[in-house]
Amino acid sequence: MTDSTLKRFLVTYQIPAAVMDGWKNTDPEVRKASETKLHGEWQAWTAKHAGMIVDANGAGKTKRVTSGGVTDTRNDIVLCATIEAESLEAAAEVFKQHPHLQIPQAFIDIMYVRPMTDW
C-alpha cells in the first residue's frame, strides 16, 4: 500500500561502460565468486529496504531516438528502480551503503519523479 505522504524517486544504478567491458575479461572463476558475493549482499540490502522499493529492473540494450532517426547507443545504466521516501535527502541516505558502490567507478543517481499534475 502506498503512503500518500511519500514521494517517488527514480534510481539508476550505473557503471561506466569501459568498466563493464573490462569486467567481462576478468577470469571467469574470479568473476563468479565476486558476483555471488555481491548478489548476496544486494539481496540482504533489498530485504532490509523492501518497504521503500516500488519496483526494480535490469536495463538492456538501448536505442536513441532523435529527430534524425533511431540509432543504437550505450549508456552507463545497468539497473533502475522506483522507490518511495519522505525526501530526496532521505532516499540518498539509504543508498550510501548500497553494495552497488563496491564496483569500481559505480554510482547511483536518485531523482524526484514529479506527478504530471505538478507540471
CATH number (domain holding residue 91): 3.30.70.1060
Range of the domain at 57: 7-118
Catalogue the E-assigned strands of the chain. Answer: 7-14, 53-58, 62-66, 69-73, 77-85, 107-112
Residue 1 inside a domain? The answer is no
pLDDT in tens, 3-60: 678 999 999 999 999 999 999 899 999 999 999 999 999 999 999 999 999 999 999 9
- Nine-digit cell at 60? 538492456
CA distances to 6, 7, 20, 26, 45 from 114, rounded to whole Å, are 12, 8, 31, 41, 26
Q: With respect to residue 53, please indicate whether it lies within any of the assigned structural domains.
A: yes
**pLDDT by residue (tens digit) across 63-87?**
999 999 999 999 999 999 999 999 9
Q: Per the structure, how many domains does the chain have?
A: 1
pLDDT over threshold 50, residue 1: no
pTM: 0.88
